[in-house]
Structure 1
Amino acid sequence: MKTDEADIGLLESSDGGMPALPVSEVFGPTIQGEGPYAGRSAWFVRLGGCNLSCSWCDSPYTWDAQRFDLRREIPMTPVEEVIAGVASSSLVVVTGGEPLLHQNRPAWRALCTGLRARGCTLQIETNGTIVPNSTTRGLVQTFVVSPKLANAGAHRGNVDPALRTGWVEVAKSGHAHLKVVCTSADDVAGVVDIARTTGWPLSQVWVMPEGTTAQELNGRWRAIADAAAQAGINATHRLHILAWQDRRGH
């Protein structure tokens, strides 16, 4: 199985005709802890389902049916309820899992349209294996794209985690940033190679240390920051981990 859409399908139930999506959590106000918007006040909408299975994933409860009860973890939730759960005119980060698994559903359009109608700035966090369709590109201001390196391990179903070529067009329009998890300076070099090979603007490339504790992050931070500085790309810490550890809802 290349994705867990079958697992998500089991969650579908009668919702009175209201558009709904599998939602793990909606939370805020908090801060965006990573990438080009790090430090900004934000609200998060975390959707269920992912087509990858990173060994260090910090939200396996959104996709791993072997370890978690997905009916409980990512219940089908009316889009109106999700939209009402965030503050108007805020930065809203839609993440997962892999949120773009849902972009061809009417509920996805309803979610993005409803958030924009409330004056929200919409940011999508994605693994880069699914290119946004025209509807998504028209509604989302910023994409943060996180292709997975070898440090993420093998993925179920032999899914290829490589960045899809269609993303470069989005990046060149100024609406997409790479944000890649690294464990070493060698990983940073690999990210630079991806950017140069694809033509991704280096000013829109970010690397960050892997880890879910301050000790892990800080242990890798200097090497990664040094390598990023030498390569002329950006480095980002994980500020939410420093503030709240790996607690859900932050």
Structure 2
Amino acid sequence: MKILSVSTATSNLSVALNENEKIIVEKNEHDERNHSEHLDPLINEILVDHNLTLKDIDRFAVAIGPGSYTGLRIGITTVKMFGSILNKEVVGVSTLQALAKSVTDNDTVIIAGLDARNENYFAGGYVLDENQIPVNVIADGHYHIDVLLENVKAYIENSDYKKIIFVGNGFEKQDELIKELDIQYSYGTDEQNIVHAGLIGQLAIEEEPVDPDKLLPRYLRRTQAEVDWHKRTGNPFGPDSDYVEEV
């Protein structure tokens, strides 16, 4: 099965071609403000280099969040379009699970996160199963660092795991607080700290395809526009699909 995967969730733009679990090629560009301009050329470059067209792809996969609001929409809209026009399978993969997939230590709790500013993080905790698939054990969410570390400590105390690795960005600046956990810990390498489309492709094998129209971003918090809309209208928050349609 040929899988084309993309991530536009962070400042690192990533596109990959997988043949089942094997990563055939992955290309990465750090261009936070230009994902919309660079994504299609990068996809085309990969296809041309491997004598393929979009019709040859069996499944499209994309990081669905958390991440940049604008970035997520770029990647998700592209994959939805491919799936709809070509009648191909599409799947969404958690950005945090993709980050966690970069770790291969089975005896370690993986805390994957993205700096959300003001001491907050989009983060979740993972452990690897027997197939090296990251399993979510601390729910993906929008956490203040104090709450996140409380959750990490509680999980460690009730498990057999004695080591932690933090992957993503912004954790190093919390080093003094992390030390207070009194647990062996480390930070990811530069390669582990970016979202790799090739790893999204590997995770996409086990995901159930969805109707392209139902492929939606997982922001993990409300946008300011949505909060303002709620205040203005008094209407209750609905699922992301309701809000996206209204916009």
Larger Rg: 2
Higher RCO (CA-CA < 8 Å; seq separation 6+): 2
After TM superposition, the score normalised by the length of structure 2 is: 0.29
More strand by share: 2
After TM superposition, the score normalised by the length of structure 1 is: 0.29
